[in-house]
Amino acid sequence: MKQTFEEADKNGDGLLNIDEMYQLLHKMNVNLPRRKVKQMFQEADTDDQQGTLSFEEFSVFYRMMSLRRDLYLLLMCFSEKKDHLTVEELGNFLCVEQKMPNVTGDYCLDIIDKFETLEENKQKGILGIEGFTNFMRSPTCDIFNPTHLEVNQDMDQPLCNYFIASSHNTYLTGDQLLSHSKTDMYAWVLQAGCRCVEVDCWDGPDGEPMVQHGYTLTSKITFKSVVETINKHAFINNEYPVILSIENHCSIQQQKKIAQHLRDIFGDKLDVEAALSKDPKQLPSPNSLRGKILIKGKRLPTHLSEDAEEGEVSDEDSADEIEDDFKLRNSTSNNLSQHQVESHIRKKLDSLLKEAKIGDKEDTDSFSIRALLRATHEGLHRNLGKNSKEGLKKSHSRSFISGIKPKRNSRSRLKCQSVDTDDEGNQDVYGRELVGMPNRAGRRRKTIKLSRDLSSLVLLTNSLAEHEDLEEGGTGNVLSFSETRAQQLVHHRAGEFLRFNQLQLSRIYPSAYRIDSSNFNPQTYWNVGSQLVALNYQTEGRMMQLNRAKFMVNGGSGYVLKPEPMCKGSFNPFSDDPLPAYPKKQLLLKVISGQQLPKPPDSMLGDRGEIIDPFVEVEIIGLPVDCCKEQTRVVDDNGFNPVWEETLSFTLHMPEMALVRFLVWDHDPIGRDFVGQRTVAFSSLMPGYRHVYLEGLTEASIFVHVTVHDVYGKWSPLVLNPSYTIMHFLGANKNRQLKGIRGLFNRGTTKTLVDTGLPVRKRSLSDHLLRRTASAPAKGRRKTKMTLSEVTEERKYSTGEALQAQEVAVGRRSSPRAALQHRPVSMPLERLLQGQLNLTSPDQERPDPITDTLIVEN
């Protein structure tokens, strides 16, 4: 609040005048009438009406403006018509509505002591509206289950039973062509929970292997520095095993250097013999491998003589090559100019523009290829703007794409060209050749020479060629697929792929055509049980948000247990009813309100732009049958405290695989602008009233009510009443129902009356709540604003009319009813404010079994 005050104080005098307040409210997306602002300003200005507000007075103004009707009405619902909660009432709220187990009186007193702002209330052991608001906005009432911040799943099952957080080209800071390679990237992803990192190894100067993205202008870092960084950061806040995926492009001599560095730096962390000896027929568990480094790479064939120091192995799962349909053409030149290098890269980018399909249609955050070309043009001038000698020397002998053309010959030959400089700066171009050999299918398989020293370190995970049969190999094998081939498997051999993943590991990596380092949708491959779905961690966007949500379920450990049906047996993830023997889940999300929603980050006018018209979209990402999205209406001109009061319903066949994505958009006549998002795994959702804080935004949130039901038998699309637990609790207490609260959850409720004798802490509190502008209606609907005098007129209705209407409603509930239909069950809050809160309720009303239970067709 202090920072907000200082930013609004344009002249720096420590005071805010009325004009500065208007500007601040516009920046905060608050749309209040000037008359209303002046009235609140005058009430807060207590120092002889000076026409300015000090910080203390601004704090009073801000609290008046921030009073929330939804939380106030909720507090009254559980407080026996009072403006505060006792210890017993707070305990009932936590148990009945928030579903918190083992709530004690001492725990409730701790909440009061921590969140209540008035010392008088603390001494009395009661929680007022400000304390209740503080509590509801605290992490305790966040949408995310706090127990999932720690490891909470069984970690003693085989590795193949877990999804494992995996990174692709971990060393890169940006795109695949021009960005820098840094060891800091390994430290960052490991501490972010990633448990499988990639290292592309190439021959370097002075016999030291280097890490880089081959055939590009990315910079190089030494393999030794990468291993040292991994060793330092692998187990700082996560003890579970790290998989080191090595892409080997080195000569035999430098492969021996790689093996030496791994042994010298990792030491005992490479010793996994104890875990392997427990049960050779299945993979070890994460618990048995705690603190261990697993080397994923090639291993020499078993038929090779033990005396052989090297042998040939497949090289077909390298992600850095431009698919099997293309090859790099040899070029012999000892004198390359800047113009020639730039011309080569430009031609290759143009070729990729025509051939490639960059990004995923679901990834709205991926770069466009045109923007990438512009960035590449700038990067080339920046990186090659110096003379050829200096530019190439600084790049540490970066390699470049020398040519791409479709393969035509029956015998393939791959030559890649690199440019090195000696100590005197003389350029030398040399090549490395990979010769194809025929396989059983008549295709050419690229091979490399592999050192036994390096092969001997690959004790657990052994990369196989992409075209191998899914049935081949033992439990220690890992099949690596580019997303293109993995997608073919998912579409044509999903059942077979899923069964393979029940016993062995598979790794999916992005297509080489994703030169902008965009990401594919990982959910596609999680649905068939693939464990190592590698993403470009350096590219923020929708796909990385899904990945983070997935692995937050188990304390960010990088290991998430698969659902039981994925670990044994068989099911079709593409079926309309993939698990008919299992109960389904119905998720009811009541989107109530929003708080302090900012203007879109890409707004052309920034904070000076118009006040946003927000709406909320909720999306389910999981099995195909579960994927869907729904959205609320639009609230006009209110980003500070919009109210939607709408219920969204979803049915999930495999909730363990589902992610729930909350998005806030700003409605615009020509489209919509992204405001913020939060993605949470379904299994991490907390029931009851929860705040969903938008990722990366400090105070912005939406307030929701979460209800989950089991659905047995054939599913019927019913929408239940999410306030059942509140009404049941109120009905269980004689003559203590707050009838008006039904208007907060049900549409079409009859009007009830406001009790003018309602006890509140301050007279101004009720006045502020009733005078506040009601929530904006949907686009095109006339706005309704009530003044205090209009509310007073509403209080003149007789209680007899309300009771008569309630008796009619009770009679209607007791009569035979038609089958329930899919319908919303909420009511705009302005209608609630036009109604009245009847605190003298009639006889106790029983919960309606037809409304409050789930009916399905058997």
The domain that holds 444 is classified in CATH as 3.20.20.190
Tokens of 66: 């921030």
Q: Pairing mode, if any, of strands 559-561 and 162-167? A: antiparallel
- Say if residues 665 and 615 touch (Cβ distance below 8 Å): yes
pLDDT of residue 435: 35
Length of the chain: 858
Distance, CA of 327 to CA of 414 (rounded, Å): 6
Q: Which of 66, 99, 117 is the last residue of a domain?
A: 66
- Say if residues 464 and 317 touch (Cβ distance below 8 Å): yes
pLDDT of residue 815: 44
Tokens of 481: 């697929």
Neighbours of 593 (CB within 10 A): 22
**Domain contains 535:** yes
**Domain contains 623:** yes
Distance, CA of 824 to CA of 749 (rounded, Å): 13
Q: Which of 682, 711, 740 is the last residue of a domain?
A: 711
- Say if residues 534 and 507 touch (Cβ distance below 8 Å): yes
Q: Same structural domain for residues 445 and 521?
A: yes
Q: Same structural domain for residues 509 and 638?
A: no
Residues known to be catalytic: 168, 213
What type of residue sits at position 323?
Answer: E
- The parent domain of residue 703 ranges over 584-711
Q: Same structural domain for residues 503 and 553?
A: yes
**Domain contains 42:** yes
Q: What secondary structure does DSSP assign to 202-244, as a single string?
A: E--GGG--EE--TTSS---EEHHHHHHHHHHHTTSS--S-EEE
pLDDT of residue 316: 60
pLDDT beneath 50, residues of the chain: 318-335, 338, 355-377, 379-380, 383-442, 716-858
Q: Same structural domain for residues 529 and 596?
A: no
Q: Which three-class secondary structure string do you get for 599-634?
A: CCCCCCCHHHCCCCCEEEEEEEECCHHHCEEEECCC
Alpha helices in 49-167 (DSSP H): 55-66, 69-77, 87-92, 105-115, 119-124, 129-136
**Domain contains 371:** yes
Q: Same structural domain for residues 414 and 551?
A: yes
List residues bridging with 246 in a β-sheet: 199
Q: Which of 416, 772, 713 is nearest to 584 (CA)?
A: 713
List residues bridging with 588 in a β-sheet: 649, 707
Q: Which of 681, 711, 741 is the last residue of a domain?
A: 711
**Domain contains 293:** yes
Q: Same structural domain for residues 413 and 450?
A: yes
Q: Same structural domain for residues 546 and 626?
A: no
3-state secondary structure of 446: strand
Q: Same structural domain for residues 48 and 188?
A: no
Alpha helices in 703-762 (DSSP H): 724-731
- Per the structure, the count of domains in the chain is 3
Interacting residues of 222 by C-beta distance below 8 A, sequence separation 6+ = 204, 208, 209, 210, 211
Dihedral sign (CA 6, 10, 11, 16): negative
Neighbours of 410 (CB within 10 A): 9
**Domain contains 13:** yes
Q: Which of 527, 521, 520 is nearest to 506 (CA)?
A: 527
* Strand (E) or helix (H) holding 428: strand 427-438
3-state secondary structure of 394: helix
Diameter over CA atoms, the chain? 101
The domain that holds 597 is classified in CATH as 2.60.40.150
Q: Pairing mode, if any, of strands 127-128 and 461-464? A: unpaired
- Say if residues 253 and 259 touch (Cβ distance below 8 Å): no
pLDDT of residue 473: 56
- Say if residues 132 and 118 touch (Cβ distance below 8 Å): no
Tokens of 855: 């009916």
Q: Same structural domain for residues 478 and 396?
A: yes
Distance, CA of 601 to CA of 620 (rounded, Å): 24
pLDDT of residue 581: 86
pLDDT of residue 3: 74
The domain that holds 49 is classified in CATH as 1.10.238.10
Q: Same structural domain for residues 561 and 604?
A: no
3-state secondary structure of 590: strand
Neighbours of 217 (CB within 10 A): 24
3-state secondary structure of 134: helix
Question: Cβ-count burial of 423 within 10 angstroms (0-12 exposed, 13-18 middle, 19+ buried)?
Answer: exposed
Distance, CA of 674 to CA of 55 (rounded, Å): 33
Tokens of 275: 């875990």
**Domain contains 540:** yes
What is the CA 18 to chain-centroid distance, rounded? 41
Distance, CA of 718 to CA of 486 (rounded, Å): 37
Tokens of 549: 């949500």
Tokens of 252: 């035999």
Question: What is the Rg, in whole angstroms, of the alpha carbon atoms belonging to the chain?
Answer: 32
pLDDT tens column, 651-692 = 999 999 999 999 999 998 888 999 999 999 999 999 999 999
**Domain contains 782:** no
Interacting residues of 295 by C-beta distance below 8 A, sequence separation 6+ = 244, 246, 262, 270, 457, 458, 459, 460, 461
Q: Same structural domain for residues 506 and 598?
A: no
pLDDT of residue 186: 98
Q: What secondary structure does DSSP assign to 496-542, as a single string?
A: HHHHHTTTSEEEEE--TT-TT-----THHHHTTT-SEEEE-TTS-SH
> Does this model's pTM top 0.75?
no
pLDDT of residue 194: 98
Q: Same structural domain for residues 514 and 635?
A: no
